């Protein structure tokens, strides 16, 4: 099972919106709506930002939103803020084959 494909980096100015894509296959993203997104600041543990493709856990800002179309999931950050600068990873269930779950390659978000 190959990692889901994310852009290596995305940048934006404060207040702007950015979107991070996460591309998989019919065996993972396309086959299930079981996608989560994580934010990771340097040296810290990941933090759950989105689950079930578009749901936000309690305490996560509504500036973060998720969606899916076909084999691609997306995370949008609106009203970009300095504290949003971090690495972001998508994660998907991948069925009952050889690898049950798969992470994305990760995206570094830079706030200009």
* Measured distance CA(109)–CA(60) in Å, rounded: 17
| Shorter beta-carbon distance to other proteins: residue 13 or 62 | 62
Structure tokens at 4: 């889901």
66 in contact with other proteins (CB under 8 A) = no
| Residues 5 and 92 sit within 8 Å (Cβ to Cβ) | no
Nearer to other proteins, 36 or 111 (CB): 36
Instruction: Identify the residue among 21, 47, 67, 78 touching other proteins (CB under 8 A).
Output: 47
CA 75/CA 54 separation, integer angstroms: 9
Residue 32 binds other proteins, judged by CB under 8 A: yes
Is 106 a residue that touches other proteins (CB under 8 A)?
yes
Among 22, 38, 73, 74, binds other proteins (CB under 8 A): 38
């Amino acid at each position: 099972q190959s990692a889901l494909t994310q852009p290596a980096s995305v940048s934006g100015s404060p207040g702007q919106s950015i979107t991070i894509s996460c591309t998989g296959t019919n065996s993972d993203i396309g086959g299930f709506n079981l996608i989560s997104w994580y934010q990771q600041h340097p040296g810290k543990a990941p933090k759950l930002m989105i689950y079930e493709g578009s749901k936000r856990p309690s305490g996560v800002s509504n500036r973060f939103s998720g969606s899916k179309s076909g084999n691609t999931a997306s995370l949008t950050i609106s009203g970009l803020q300095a504290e949003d600068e971090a690495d972001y990873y998508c994660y998907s269930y991948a069925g009952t084959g050889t690898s049950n779950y798969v992470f994305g390659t990760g995206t570094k978000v830079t706030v200009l």
